[in-house]
A and B are shown apart, each in its own frame.
Chain A
Amino acid sequence: SAVISQKPSRDICQRGTSLTIQCQVDSQVTMMFWYRQQPGQSLTLIATANQGSEATYESGFVIDKFPISRPNLTFSTLTVSNMSPEDSSIYLCSVSLWTDNEKLFFGSGTQLSVL
């Protein structure tokens, strides 16, 4: 299994500001993903974080709004830029492991509220 440390766990931010969310994993992972989960909704994949190169974004998500870094195998950041109230959501880091690369492990999530 994997232990995923995601922080902050929650934040309240002002419109127009940016927030960077960190994800640290204690195991060697193959893939790292960032998901968004709006209240009472399903999980929507934002992007796949690629080590040492630009993230792969899903339709509807762009790098300028959600810049992602992954400097090594076990760490990634997601920035929510120029926030608006529509960005209020839970953001989840997720990983798959070398030993079981089809199962996803999720971080505890970052609950973001934008005023």
Chain B
Amino acid sequence: GQQVMQIPQYQHVQEGEDFTTYCNSSTTLSNIQWYKQRPGGHPVFLIQLVKSGEVKKQKRLTFQFGEAKKNSSLHITATQTTDVGTYFCAGTSGNTGKLIFGQGTTLQVKP
């Protein structure tokens, strides 16, 4: 079945360093979403990308959707302790219409 792979599983950074998580799908996606889950919290929607090659920014966060609509990335510039949490990508299958979550990348930021 369709899979959405996300790497790395964990990332520890020093405050101020950059961070990137990558998401890859085995099949073409109609869109990709990103969610953030703080420790002990529930996932919160961050953004949705729909177009091939799309790039969107939210302050220090930059989201990209690959040209082939099979991969995506989230880049955080100059991390802060408030960025701590698990970041999930979730892709909607172009074939089934189902939303499939990646395994998540857990970010730890050392002050």
Beyond A42-B101, A42-B102, whether A106 also contacts B44 by CB under 8 A is yes
Which of B31, B43, B98, B106 contacts A106, CB < 8 Å? B43
Can you identify 28 A-B contacts, CB atoms within 8 angstroms?
A: A41-B103, A41-B104, A42-B88, A42-B101, A42-B102, A42-B103, A43-B43, A43-B88, A44-B101, A45-B99, A92-B42, A92-B43, A102-B31, A102-B33, A103-B45, A103-B48, A104-B33, A104-B35, A104-B43, A104-B90, A104-B99, A105-B45, A106-B42, A106-B43, A106-B44, A107-B42, A108-B41, A109-B42
Instruction: Contact check, A103 vs B103: say whether CB atoms are below 8 A apart.
Output: no
B27-58: contact bitstring with A at CB < 8 Å (1 yes, 0 no)?
00001010100000111110010000000000
A: which residues have CB within 8 A of B? Answer: 40-45, 92, 102-109
B48 and A102 within 8 A (CB): yes
Binding site for A on B (CB under 8 A): 31, 33, 35, 41-45, 48, 88, 90, 92, 98-99, 101-104, 106
State the majority secondary structure of interface residues on B: strand
